[in-house]
């Protein structure tokens, strides 16, 4: 089947839905959103902490937020991207509220603001401890009730379409690569359909699932980054993988591991060893409120030093009623596994959380491929640099949805559908044996990435990861050419591609900077004599 849409959106988190709503109201053509599973299964849904924005002008200002972001990003961040997100944030908060998203307020009607690690002021808007779920709920209602948006749930984008599919030779040096849409797998027919578009927007979210333990859902397999890389687009800064220092340690729950929000440390939670000893004073004067990379490395070191599989977060010294009020979901979750957080320590450990790099885009969300935008976590806007400041990601997604929507609405009439695109070659079959091979390879990717390309790296570990991923790549590509396409096989391909990009860019960075820490180059860039 061939479908035609003016705007084709691949992904359904806050970035994809915000963009869909913004272009739909312009009435510039048909809008389609491709969702890998159901509309609500996105990284957005799992974000507990909140959204960073300057709203209290009596105490806070743009300059402070910009400075906090630059410091957290280890000065790799693009100042223009930082300024754009910070200054446009308040307006986009109003937009979210207008779409029906509810943020907690004080009795006087002002926003009830939290403070998180790396922020100099209280500027985090939240909804209890499930802000992401509230944003996802509000946007889903708005999207579902909009008659101009077609939602295709449980559909899987296999590849984006470029002139390569028309027989042209496309390399990384090809000056004008054009995107004409995407090949998409329909779950009902098990056929790959052709979706032609004037504008395509990649907002596939993160890639945490390439690691053994992640706060991301199992679907976060780096699809967008991998598809764009295979299409010869520019991908950047993939070595900067943020590990959330505190996911709930509960063996068996690894995709996603339950997130213990940073706001809990902002609230006064103290990191301790299981014997009660605090340890952050050895690493940073900000103690448990130090930026995530410092806290994650500190926990990693303590776990390795003492042979532990977790450390603990302690809020037992806080008022029990207040704890239950502020963190109702965390309280209920921990209680469900037999831990009363008002009386007992919470067992925590780091987990892969956020990709700071991704598909390189400009201030309008345009990638290096014409007619292709990338927004949300799969993009590299330059905002995060070497490390993401807490709660900057949800607002980045909404701001870039705005700039990408404006730019694409302005230019969509310049493009036509390319009717020469051939149908997908659907040859091959898939046997049970091959299914087992895929499952095993997925497991291997997780082990390779966690063991060799984790929080602390070395040249030897990275070389080992490279060699093993290379072998998996060859095996998987041979399988892909031979069998009928499936979602599981495509995800595996994407995971291997993404793992390769993270590893390659980690090998290329010969310094410790931001989230990339290597024992072979332990001296920070600024400390070099």
Residues 148 and 229 occupy one common structural domain: yes
> Cα–Cα distance between 34 and 11 in angstroms, integer?
6
Report yes or no on 171 lying in a domain: yes
Q: Which of 225, 293, 281, 216 has the alpha carbon at shortest distance from 37?
A: 216
Residue 414 and residue 468 in contact, taking contact as beta carbons nearer than 8 Å: no
Q: Which of 424, 450, 446, 431 has the alpha carbon at shortest distance from 489?
A: 431
Residues 385 and 276 occupy one common structural domain: no
Answer with the one of 322, 351, 380 that is the final residue of a domain. Answer: 351
Residue 8, token pair as written in the block = 């084709």
Q: Which sign does the torsion angle of CA 155, 156, 162, 166 carry?
A: negative
> Cα–Cα distance between 32 and 138 in angstroms, integer?
19
CATH of the domain at 478: 1.20.58.100
> Cα–Cα distance between 250 and 494 in angstroms, integer?
27
Residue 211 and residue 220 in contact, taking contact as beta carbons nearer than 8 Å: no
> Cα–Cα distance between 257 and 234 in angstroms, integer?
31
Give 28-91 as a DSSP string: -S-EEEE-SS-TT-SHHHH--S-EE----TTT--HHHHHHHHHHHTTT-S-HHHHHHHHHHHHH
Phi-psi region of 157 (alpha: psi -120 to 50; beta: other; left: phi over 0): beta
CATH of the domain at 57: 3.50.50.60
Answer with the one of 351, 375, 403 that is the final residue of a domain. Answer: 351
Residues 204 and 262 occupy one common structural domain: no
What's the domain range around 514? 432-518
Residues 202 and 260 occupy one common structural domain: no
Residues 166 and 292 occupy one common structural domain: no
Residues 342 and 365 occupy one common structural domain: no
Residues 118 and 229 occupy one common structural domain: yes
Residues 396 and 344 occupy one common structural domain: no
Please report which helix (H) or strand (E) contains residue 432, including its range: helix 432-452
Beta bridge partner(s), residue 270: 314
How far is the CA of 232 from the CAs of 163, 169, 172, 419, in angstroms?
11, 11, 5, 22
Phi-psi region of 443 (alpha: psi -120 to 50; beta: other; left: phi over 0): alpha
Residue 92, token pair as written in the block = 């986009």
Please report which helix (H) or strand (E) contains residue 227, including its range: helix 223-230
Residues 306 and 203 occupy one common structural domain: no
Report yes or no on 451 lying in a domain: yes
- pLDDT values of the chain reduced to their tens digit, one per residue, 529 residues: 999 999 999 998 889 999 999 999 999 999 999 999 887 765 555 555 689 999 988 899 999 999 999 999 999 999 999 999 999 999 999 988 888 888 889 889 888 888 887 888 999 998 876 777 788 888 888 899 999 999 999 999 999 999 999 888 888 888 899 999 999 999 899 899 999 999 999 999 999 999 988 988 888 999 999 999 999 999 999 999 999 899 999 987 777 888 898 889 988 999 999 999 999 999 998 888 887 778 888 998 898 889 898 999 999 999 999 999 989 989 999 999 999 999 999 999 999 999 999 999 999 999 999 999 999 999 999 999 999 998 899 899 999 999 999 999 999 999 999 999 999 987 776 676 778 889 999 999 999 998 899 999 999 999 999 999 999 999 999 999 888 889 999 999 999 999 999 999 999 999 999 899 999 988 766 665 4
> Cα–Cα distance between 139 and 142 in angstroms, integer?
5
Q: Which residues contact 16 (CB under 8 A, 6 or more apart)?
A: 9, 10, 33, 42, 201, 203, 375, 376, 401
b/e sequence 309-348, b meaning 16+ C-beta within 10 Å = ebbbbbbbebeeeebeebbeebbebbeeeebebbeebbbb
Q: Which sign does the torsion angle of CA 154, 155, 159, 161 carry?
A: negative
CATH of the domain at 329: 3.90.700.10
Report yes or no on 424 lying in a domain: no
How are beta strands 346-355 and 124-125 bridged, if at all? unpaired
Report yes or no on 465 lying in a domain: yes
Number of domains within the chain: 3
Q: Angle between the 14-24 and 393-411 helix axes, to the nearest 10 degrees?
A: 30
Residues 112 and 205 occupy one common structural domain: yes
Number of CB atoms found within 10 A of residue 56's CB: 14
Answer with the one of 351, 380, 406 that is the final residue of a domain. Answer: 351
Residue 458, token pair as written in the block = 């070395």
CA angle 302, 303, 307 (to 5 degrees): 120
Residues 342 and 294 occupy one common structural domain: yes
Residue 47 and residue 131 in contact, taking contact as beta carbons nearer than 8 Å: yes
Report yes or no on 528 lying in a domain: no
> Which amino acids are annotated catalytic?
292
Q: Which sign does the torsion angle of CA 8, 10, 11, 16 carry?
A: negative
Task: Count CA atoms closer than 13 A to 365's CA, side-chain side.
Answer: 31
Report yes or no on 83 lying in a domain: yes
How far is the CA of 317 from the CAs of 12, 286, 330, 345, 450, in angstroms?
40, 19, 17, 10, 34
Q: For residue 118, what pLDDT is reported?
A: 83
Largest CA distance in the chain: 67
Report yes or no on 427 lying in a domain: no
> Cα–Cα distance between 369 and 359 in angstroms, integer?
10
Indicate the burial class of 488 (C-beta count within 10 angstroms; 0-12, 13-18, 19 or more).
middle
Q: For residue 420, what pLDDT is reported?
A: 95
Please report which helix (H) or strand (E) contains residue 98, including its range: helix 79-98
Residues 318 and 183 occupy one common structural domain: no
Report yes or no on 244 lying in a domain: no
């Amino acid at each position: 089947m061939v479908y035609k849409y003016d705007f084709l959106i691949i992904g359904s988190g806050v970035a994809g839905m915000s963009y869909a709503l913004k272009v739909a109201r312009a009435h510039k053509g048909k809008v389609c959103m491709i969702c890998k599973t159901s509309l609500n299964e996105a990284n957005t849904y799992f974000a507990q902490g909140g959204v960073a924005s300057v709203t209290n002008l009596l105490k806070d200002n743009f300059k402070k937020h910009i400075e906090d972001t630059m410091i957290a990003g280890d000065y790799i961040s693009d100042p223009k991207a930082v300024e754009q997100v910070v200054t446009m944030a308040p307006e986009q908060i109003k937009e979210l509220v207008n779409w029906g998203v509810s943020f907690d307020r004080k009795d006087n009607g002002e926003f009830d603001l939290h403070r998180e690690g790396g922020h100099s002021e209280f500027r985090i808007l939240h909804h209890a401890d499930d802000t992401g779920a509230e944003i996802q709920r509000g946007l889903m209602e708005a999207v579902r009730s909009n008659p101009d948006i077609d939602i295709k749930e449980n559909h899987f984008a296999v590849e984006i379409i470029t002139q390569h599919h028309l027989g042209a030779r496309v390399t990384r040096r090809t000056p004008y690569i054009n995107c004409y849409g995407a090949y998409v797998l329909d779950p009902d027919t098990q056929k790959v359909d052709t979706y032609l578009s004037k504008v395509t927007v990649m907002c596939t979210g993160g890639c945490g699932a390439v690691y053994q333990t992640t706060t991301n859902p199992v679907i976060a397999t780096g699809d967008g980054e991998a598809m764009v890389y295979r299409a010869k687009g520019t991908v950047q800064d993939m070595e900067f993988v943020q590990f959330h220092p505190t996911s709930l340690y509960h063996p068996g729950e690894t995709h996603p591991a339950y997130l213990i929000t940073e706001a809990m440390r902002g609230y006064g939670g103290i990191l301790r060893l299981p014997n009660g000893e605090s340890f952050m004073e050895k690493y940073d004067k900000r103690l448990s409120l130090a930026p995530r990379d410092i806290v994650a490395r500190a926990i990693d070191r303590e776990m390795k030093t003492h042979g532990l599989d977790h450390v603990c977060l302690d809020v037992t010294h806080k008022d029990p009623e207040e704890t239950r009020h502020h963190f109702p979901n965390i309280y209920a979750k921990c209680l469900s596994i037999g831990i009363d957080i008002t009386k007992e320590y919470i067992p925590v450990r780091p987990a892969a959380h956020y990709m700071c790099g991704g598909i390189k885009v400009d201030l309008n969300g345009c990638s290096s491929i014409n007619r292709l935008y990338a927004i949300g976590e799969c993009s590299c806007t330059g905002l995060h640099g070497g490390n993401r400041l807490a709660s900057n990601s949800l607002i980045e997604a909404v701001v870039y949805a705005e700039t990408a929507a404006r730019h694409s609405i302005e230019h969509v009439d310049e493009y036509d559908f390319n009717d020469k695109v051939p149908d997908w070659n659907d040859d091959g079959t898939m046997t049970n044996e091959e299914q087992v091979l895929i499952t095993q390879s997925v497991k291997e990717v997780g082990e390779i990435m966690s063991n060799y390309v984790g929080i602390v790296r070395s040249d030897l570990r990275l070389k080992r990861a490279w060699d093993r991923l290379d072998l998996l790549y060859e095996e998987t590509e041979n399988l892909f050419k031979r069998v009928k396409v499936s979602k599981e096989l495509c995800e595996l391909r994407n995971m291997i591609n993404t793992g390769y990009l993270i590893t390659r860019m980690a090998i290329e960075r010969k310094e410790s900077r931001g989230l990339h820490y290597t024992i072979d180059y332990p001296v920070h860039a600024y400390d070099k004599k």
